Amino acid sequence: MKHIPAERQPDASISRPLLRDDTKFAAGKIAAFQYVAVGVFVYLALGYWDLQVRNEEFYYGKALQNQIKSLPIPAPRGRIVDRDGRVIVDNHSSYRLILSRDTLREEHLRPIALGLNMEPSDLEAKVRRFRRQPSYLTIPLKEELTADELTFVEAHKGGDNFPEMELISSMNTRDVLGIKAAQPGKDLKLTIDLDLQVVGELAMQGRRGAVVALDPRTGEVLALVSTPAYDPNHFVGRIDTREWSALRDDPYKPLFNRALQAQLSPGSTFKPIMALAALESGAIDENFTVNCPGGANWYGRWFSCHKKSGHGAVSLKTAIAQSCDVFFYAVGNKLGIDKIAEYGGMAGLGRKTGIDLPGEKDGVLPSSKWKIRTQREKWYAGETISVAVGQGALTVTPLQLAHAIGGIAAGGVWMRPHVVRDEKAAEPLRKANLDAENVSKITYGMYAVVNEWGTAAAARIPGVEMCGKTGTAQLASNDLLKSKNMGEAFKDNAWFVGFAPRQSAEIVVVALFENGEHGNLAAPIVRDVIKAYFDKKARLNKLQQPAPSLASNLGLSGPDR
Amino acid sequence: MAGYRSIRGLDWPLLAIALILCALGILQIYSATLDTAWRAAWWKQSVYLCVGLLAMWIMTQVDYHTLLGQVPILYGVSLVLLVITPLVGRLVWGSKRWIPLGYGFKFQPSEFVKLVIVLLVARYLTELKSDRLEIRDLLKLGALVGVPFALVYAQPDLGTSLTYMPILLIGLFLGGMRWQHAVAVLALVAVLMPVGWFFLKDYQKARLETFIDPMKDPTGKGYQVIQSKIAVGAGGVWGRGVTHGSQTQLRFLPVAHTDFLVSALAEEHGFVGILVVLGLYFLLLMQIVQNAQAAPDRAGMFICMGVCSLLLFHLLINAGMAVGRMPVTGIPLPLMSYGGSSMLSVFMMLGLVNNVRLRRFVS
């Protein structure tokens, strides 16, 4: 054994390194290693002994707990329905779709992609990514199936020309020991009338702005539209980042609820409130007239009327009907800013209406106090002249305007606007002892706007005593739009506020059409909504039962739109 | 010359034990992957076993002295493979360990580097003329093993990189390391330990923290250990029967066919099953030790002991982590855990042992 063959000598060929063959030297150390190995095995065996023999009961109990698991079953959320009980928001169960690759063939991909609203190339890429994977690995196709997609899968599953697909819920249960039924949430009934809502949305299609319809008697919101809008279904589960940033960075701000949050100069739609202030405070009487030569000089500055040729001698009714600025400059100057603020505040401007929706804005109702508080400067009389025609620092939200005018039309009762239907009658938010004579002078003026020689003759509805007021105003803040260099942004905003009937109004509607140039372009939107209201009322009276609604005819009422 | 290298010269008891362990492993893989996406794993493992046996046979055919002569080349190739792995490798569970070979096959170089390190240590220590290791040799050998260690560690694959250490340690021990040096190295490690903490990846820190106190985060990092201990404990003395372990079958036990196979085994076969398996492993290791003792020269002895200590380390870490006695690392149970690379490298190492055995009659 000690003999070293010649080829294993130190100087032998390189392929045979120097090797010494005295293996006995390590015998003691190998024995030591064996003791270490025995130690390791004893250590391991003791570890298993400890768990399996000494503590078997404990761990067996734990394993049993693992098998029986109580899982909360999420209660179905209540549906959201409109005032007639038509479903606006519903629940649907969600499915995940898994594609098995064992039976998948190339020609399957296109029909599957089409049926699932996917791009065929996306699906191909998805399948290609799995090419290197073992064929028993399945491909997760879609997380949330829509009803259409579900129907598609159910129809084709197991067919000869389709690969295996599996619909699974996320839980893998073997046995269900017991189920305690979850209490579904209560339905949420809204004051929204789906018919009016749809009319408002259709009228605003492709435009930026808002429509608000209220019942001035109760404060119920009948329609609330803000465009451009977004699909709230995309927020179910998790919105993807790309979609979210597209919504967030859209210069037209679809996430901005204009009906509650757009604070803009009301323009001439403010004039009925001016008229109320003037009549109620006694600043003018019914004989008060102003000569309009197309403009007037106030405090060293020329304020022009929108009609450059002038209106001539103008009474209150004509001033409202033809929207004479010069008349209201004079009224504003007589009143002073603080009287204007007093009556504006009575109508609900400059503060939240308290609607049961989040994010409502205050608007600005300027006064001398307000100016000192916010700008540390005294109010200049010249500024009053601008405010008198709804410009200057004055801003309102569409909801505020509807609330304010509705209260005047109702004879001095302002109700809190709300969208959740409450069966019991609410207390008025504010009440004012208005002279009924004064109110009817204003409403007559607004009646004339639509029905006589006014600025919105196009809004007339045969058989309905509709009243209204146009408004044309600059965006209060259009810096952002200007910076984006959009010519359209320099166009004026169009407003229209209308209500009907003239006496004891049932509906008041405000339409805001951003960059719509003139108020008479907003008027048809209001007309459509008010017409829909009275058409529906007439239909119901005739039939004494609900007719198939416009909304369901359009297929817009279901959850799966 | 031909007679003692015939197939009769193989270590049949060793092979029999290995095959029994493989069979138990395949049975357990079958049970642990029932009704899962991995349900084909058991027959794939059977194929790997056949490939492994073939590889073992090939490993016995080339004289291990020739292999030792090729160590510089093997070492160089290993380093190249380890360097390119992160470049071409695919990210799996946060780590690049595999080189894709196409047709669904992938290759884990770090597994095969184990063999090279066994040969490297054997050759280096054999070439020394002294029975005592000088500090210079200690550092040189440490550096030679340290480079692949660092490369695998950086993949990051702490578990596999640590498996190179027992090969080095047993070599140093048998090669005549002075106890003063051992003490010095231990002291150095003790000092560097807190420093090394900063070099650990977050997940590695978390695993060590979990090892110290698994209940700190029972649903997160501690989940694997807690579920594994429940599985083992629930198995009891006799086990709950094949395919009847609830922890395994209801998928509470993570990766029950690979890293935590022993937990599934403990649940379904009980303490008795564990004792049988541990006993088989003990016999396997002792059989390898016996081959080391019978080796014709130092090189053969070092090879056998390197393989033996590597397998012992695998067993200690894998079986220990299942009962919470070792930190969780992705080290498979040799011969039993599902995985082609591991199967192949273990059988190649058994091939090396047989290679030494076949050449034990020098004269």
- Of the candidates A14, A45, A172, which has its C-beta nearest B275's C-beta? A45
Residue A139: domain span: 96-168
pLDDT of residue A136: 53
A66 and B246: CB-CB below 8 Å?
Answer: yes
A17 and B323: CB-CB below 8 Å?
Answer: no
Q: Is residue A486 within 8 Å of residue A438, measured between CB atoms?
A: no
Give me the residue label for tokens 């969780």.
B328
Residue A515 zone, left/alpha/beta (φ > 0; ψ -120 to 50; rest):
left
Tokens of A445: 């003026």
Indicate the burial class of B57 (C-beta count within 10 angstroms; 0-12, 13-18, 19 or more).
middle
Is A145 part of a structural domain of the chain?
A: yes
A258 and A304 inside one domain? yes
Q: Is residue B164 within 8 Å of residue B146, measured between CB atoms?
A: no
Higher pLDDT, A138 or B244: B244
Phi, psi for residue A501 in degrees, rounded to 5: -75, 175
Is A279 part of a structural domain of the chain?
A: yes
A380 and A485 inside one domain? yes
Contacts of A40 in chain B (CB under 8 A): 312, 315-316
Contacts of A23 in chain B (CB under 8 A): 292-293, 295-298, 300-301
Phi, psi for residue A256 in degrees, rounded to 5: -85, 120
Number of cross-chain residue pairs from A and B with Cβ atoms under 8 Å apart: 175
Residue B286 CB coordination number (10 Å): 16
Higher pLDDT, B70 or A177: B70
CA dist., res. A524 & res. A27, Å (int) = 106
- Peptide bond just before A228 cis, omega within 30 deg: yes
A21 and B296: CB-CB below 8 Å?
Answer: yes
Q: What is the pLDDT along chain A (561 residues), one digit of tens a residue?
A: 445 444 444 443 344 444 445 666 788 899 999 999 999 999 999 999 999 999 988 988 888 777 655 555 556 667 788 888 888 777 655 566 777 666 677 777 777 777 777 778 877 877 777 776 655 566 777 766 666 777 777 666 656 556 655 554 433 444 455 556 666 677 788 999 999 999 999 989 888 899 999 999 999 999 999 988 888 777 765 567 788 888 888 888 888 899 999 999 999 999 999 999 999 999 998 889 999 999 999 888 888 898 888 899 999 999 999 999 999 999 999 999 999 999 999 999 999 999 998 889 999 999 999 999 988 889 998 899 999 999 989 999 999 999 999 999 999 999 999 999 887 777 889 999 999 999 999 999 999 999 987 788 888 898 899 999 999 886 544 444 445 455 455 678 899 999 999 998 999 999 999 887 676 788 899 999 999 999 999 888 887 655 555 555 554 444 443
Contacts of B40 in chain A (CB under 8 A): 134, 136
Span between the terminal Cα atoms of chain B, in Å: 10
How wide is the angle at C-alpha A502 spanned by C-alphas A516 and A336, nearest 5°? 65
* Mutation choice for A interface testing from B167, B230, B262, B265 by most A CBs within 10 A: B230
Least confident among A27-36, A150-159, B164-173, B222-231 = A150-159
Contacts of B315 in chain A (CB under 8 A): 40, 44
Contacts of A44 in chain B (CB under 8 A): 278, 315-316, 319-320, 323, 325
* Mutation choice for B interface testing from A3, A51, A100 by most B CBs within 10 A: A51
Please tell me the distance in Å from B157's CA to the nearest CA on chain A.
22
Phi, psi for residue A358 in degrees, rounded to 5: -80, 155
Is A14 part of a structural domain of the chain?
A: no
Least confident among A102-106, A230-234, B180-184, B253-257 = A102-106
Is A368 part of a structural domain of the chain?
A: yes
The last residue of one of the domains, among A168, A203, A232, is A168
Residues 6+ apart with CB under 8 A from B51: B340, B343, B344
The total number of structural domains that make up chain A:
2
For every residue of A107-137, which 3-state class applies, written as one string?
Answer: HHHHHHHHHCCCCHHHHHHHHHHCCCCCCCC
B232 and A25: CB-CB below 8 Å?
Answer: no
A67 and B281: CB-CB below 8 Å?
Answer: no
Three-state SS at A438 = helix
A67 and B301: CB-CB below 8 Å?
Answer: no
Greatest Cα pair distance in chain A: 140
Short-list B278, B310, B306, B312, CA closest to B292: B306
Contacts of B270 in chain A (CB under 8 A): 52
According to DSSP, residue B157 is labeled: -
Phi, psi for residue B183 in degrees, rounded to 5: -60, -45
pLDDT of residue A168: 47
A338 and A406 inside one domain? yes
A510 and A365 inside one domain? yes
- Of the candidates B71, B271, B296, which has its C-beta nearest A52's C-beta? B271
**Nearest chain B alpha carbon to A67:** B246
A112 and A250 inside one domain? no
pLDDT of residue A249: 85
**Nearest chain A alpha carbon to B239:** A52
A231 and A370 inside one domain? yes
Please tell me the distance in Å from B174's CA to the nearest CA on chain A.
6
**Nearest chain A alpha carbon to B268:** A52
pLDDT of residue A350: 93
A342 and A278 inside one domain? yes
**Cross-strand pairs, A211:** A225, A511
Is A43 part of a structural domain of the chain?
A: no
Tokens of B57: 């046979």
* Mutation choice for B interface testing from A49, A50, A52 by most B CBs within 10 A: A52
A458 and A339 inside one domain? yes
**Nearest chain A alpha carbon to B278:** A41
List, in sequence order, every beta strand (DSSP E) within A448-492: 467-473
Size of chain B, expressed as the number of residues it contains: 363
Contacts of B173 in chain A (CB under 8 A): 29, 33
Per-residue exposure over B316-350, b if at least 16 CB sit within 10 Å of its own CB, e if not: bbbbbbbbbbbbbbbbbbbbbbbbbbbbbbbbbbb
A301 and A157 inside one domain? no
Is A176 part of a structural domain of the chain?
A: no
Q: Is residue B329 within 8 Å of residue B267, measured between CB atoms?
A: no
Contacts of A8 in chain B (CB under 8 A): 65
pLDDT of residue A120: 80
List, in sequence order, every beta strand (DSSP E) within A394-484: 413-414, 430-431, 467-473
Indicate the burial class of A73 (C-beta count within 10 angstroms; 0-12, 13-18, 19 or more).
exposed
Residues 6+ apart with CB under 8 A from A308: A294, A295
Please tell me the distance in Å from B196's CA to the nearest CA on chain A.
26
- B267-to-A410, B30, B186, B279 alpha-carbon distances in Å: 79, 14, 38, 18
Q: How far is CA B287 from the centre of its chain?
A: 17
**Cross-strand pairs, A508:** A214, A499
A159 and A252 inside one domain? no
**Nearest chain B alpha carbon to A28:** B174
For chain A, the C-alpha Rg in angstroms (whole number) is 38
The one-letter code for the residue type at A271 is K
Per-residue exposure over A273-294, b if at least 16 CB sit within 10 Å of its own CB, e if not: bbbbbbbbeebbeeebbbebee
Please tell me the distance in Å from B60's CA to the nearest CA on chain A.
17
A136 and B37: CB-CB below 8 Å?
Answer: yes
Please tell me the distance in Å from A105's CA to the nearest CA on chain B.
18
pLDDT of residue B194: 77
Is A82 part of a structural domain of the chain?
A: no
The one-letter code for the residue type at A13 is S
Least confident among A114-118, B38-42, B316-320 = A114-118
Tokens of B317: 């870490």
B37 and A137: CB-CB below 8 Å?
Answer: yes
Tokens of A542: 């005739």
Contacts of B71 in chain A (CB under 8 A): 17
According to DSSP, residue A53 is labeled: I
Q: Is residue A4 within 8 Å of residue B111, measured between CB atoms?
A: no
Short-list B362, B289, B296, B302, CA closest to B127: B302
pLDDT of residue B254: 76
ipTM of model: 0.91
- Of the candidates A15, A21, A22, which has its C-beta nearest B69's C-beta? A15
**Nearest chain B alpha carbon to A138:** B37
The one-letter code for the residue type at A115 is G
Contacts of B301 in chain A (CB under 8 A): 23, 26, 30
Is A80 part of a structural domain of the chain?
A: no
Question: Within 13 Å and on the Cβ side, how many CA atoms surround A124?
Answer: 8
What's A503's domain CATH number? 3.40.710.10
Please tell me the distance in Å from A136's CA to the nearest CA on chain B.
6
B126 and A18: CB-CB below 8 Å?
Answer: yes
**Nearest chain A alpha carbon to B231:** A63
What's A136's domain CATH number? 3.30.1390
Q: Which residues of A are catalytic?
A: 268
pLDDT of residue A456: 84
A230 and A142 inside one domain? no
Short-list B337, B300, B289, B280, CA closest to B111: B337
A114 and A257 inside one domain? no
List, in sequence order, every beta strand (DSSP E) within A299-401: 301-304, 312-314
Please tell me the distance in Å from B201's CA to the nearest CA on chain A.
28
According to DSSP, residue A418 is labeled: B
**Nearest chain B alpha carbon to A44:** B320
